[in-house]
Amino acid sequence: MRFTKLAIRNARETYRDPLALGFLIAFPLLFMLLFGAALGGNSDFSYTIGVVDKDKTGVSEQFVTQALDSVPILSIATFETDTLAGDSLKNGDIKAFIVLPSGFGEEITKSWQQENPDIVLDLVYDESDLTVSSQIISAINISVREFANIKIPITIRTSHINVETEVSQMDFIAPGIIIFGLLIMVPTSARIMVRDKETGFMARLLATPTYPWEFIAGYSASMLVVAIVQIIIFILLAVAFGMNVVGSLSLAFLIFFLTAVCSISIGMIVAALSKSENQAEPLCWIIAMPLAVLSGVWFSREIMPEYIQFMGDLFPYSHAVSAARMVIIRGAEFSAVSESIIIIAIWAIIAFITGIVLFRYKMRA
């Protein structure tokens, strides 16, 4: 039957390319291992919070050094004033800070003596990450109750650093989704170049006096136009669905644009190394999807183990996600995200040059 012969033929074509077949099998395995390492098991992550002790008694000191310091997910940094703690919070050095008011030790002592205490704490947090802020509030509440030996919840007066607008889940997730959309430029750009290889168009170009950088620049220029349109559409859709842009839209656009350059350049590298579209496609996805997980495009990287966060920081996308969220949610200026932008730009330059070198090598081969 024709169906049987066609099925046999397609099976042979698949198994004749062991590299592509290996990627097909390895991709879900790698993805599961990465998700398991990032989100499964007992992750030894921690959030740095500040403490401003205005009570300055033995009880308040004991609460900081024993109760708070013993909470696994909290790392404690002490500050003399609210202003210093607030500056550290705005710079992203801490995730929240708690103020122990005058009389805190006296109220705790009342609780120990079976009297009715009135424990009130002030907590200022960074609401740009809703998951992290809720975990910190819960951990501090439980810690104070256990230290004071009371069962009822204490009063924690919470406030956040972003006063311009209330941060929603869309504000947090939208920048990550935009970065993920730009990650898809990796297989898209690679597919175009590899397809020209298979159709013979590349071979005809090699017969012309064209330099390797002209090949890469020509392909990259056309993809950058697509990337610019994609970024504009993503931003408009995100705003339509409720994303509030607190900071500079042009600065956010610069971050997204440099990220697109990185993706296109990586796609060109994959195309230079791949012999066929069957090889390039799975290889691109085996690069793009793990990078999306490591970069925290869907969820906070703070909940991941430190070694996973370190792996993510080796690539530009985690810096892009972090910088974009700081600009869009916090209204951060260029000076606050300049380090991330420089890292992304360096990555884009190195990847572009690597694509040229690899393509030149392939031309000579």
Residues 149 and 256 in one domain: no
CB 316 within 8 A of CB 234: no
The pLDDT of residue 257 is 94
In a domain, 13, yes or no: no
Residues 105 and 213 in one domain: no
Residues 190 and 119 in one domain: no
The pLDDT of residue 198 is 72
Instruction: Give me the CATH number covering residue 136.
Output: 3.40.1710.10
The pLDDT of residue 162 is 59
The pLDDT of residue 259 is 94
Q: What tokens were used for 359?
A: 């393509």
The CA distance from 268 to 191, in Å, is: 9
The CA distance from 316 to 174, in Å, is: 18
In a domain, 317, yes or no: yes
Which distant-in-sequence residues (6+ apart) come within 8 Å of 43 by Cβ?
303, 304, 305
Of 105, 127, 160, which residue constitutes the final position of a domain? 160
The pLDDT of residue 163 is 47
In a domain, 21, yes or no: no
Residues 146 and 174 in one domain: no
The CA distance from 247 to 240, in Å, is: 17
Which neighbouring-strand residues pair with 100? 53
- The H or E element containing residue 251 is helix 249-273
Across the chain, which has 365 residues, the per-10-residue mean pLDDT values are 51 55 55 57 68 87 82 83 84 82 84 78 74 74 76 62 61 85 85 75 64 70 85 88 84 94 89 78 81 82 78 91 87 87 94 83 66
CB 329 within 8 A of CB 268: no
Instruction: Determine the distance from the C-alpha atom of residue 67 to the mean position of all C-alpha atoms in its chain, rounded to a whole number.
Output: 31
The CA distance from 293 to 172, in Å, is: 15
In a domain, 17, yes or no: no
Residues 211 and 345 in one domain: yes
Residues 189 and 316 in one domain: yes
Residues 201 and 325 in one domain: yes
Residues 147 and 184 in one domain: no
The pLDDT of residue 349 is 92
In a domain, 37, yes or no: no
The pLDDT of residue 209 is 66
Of 160, 180, 202, which residue constitutes the final position of a domain? 160
pTM for this predicted structure: 0.68
In a domain, 9, yes or no: no
Instruction: Report how many domains make up the chain.
Output: 2
Of 160, 194, 224, which residue constitutes the final position of a domain? 160
| Cα→Cα distances 264→20, 270, 307, Å | 21, 10, 27
Domain ranges, residue 64: 47-160
Residues 156 and 172 in one domain: no
Which residue's entry shows tokens 């960074």? 126
How many CA atoms lie within 13 Å of 129's alpha carbon, on the beta-carbon side? Answer: 25
* pLDDT tens, position by position, 189-243: 888 777 777 776 666 666 666 666 676 777 778 888 888 888 998 888 888 887 8
In a domain, 213, yes or no: yes
The pLDDT of residue 155 is 65
In a domain, 91, yes or no: yes
Residues 245 and 108 in one domain: no
CB 359 within 8 A of CB 206: no
Burial of 305 (0-12, 13-18, 19+ CB in 10 A): middle
The pLDDT of residue 139 is 79
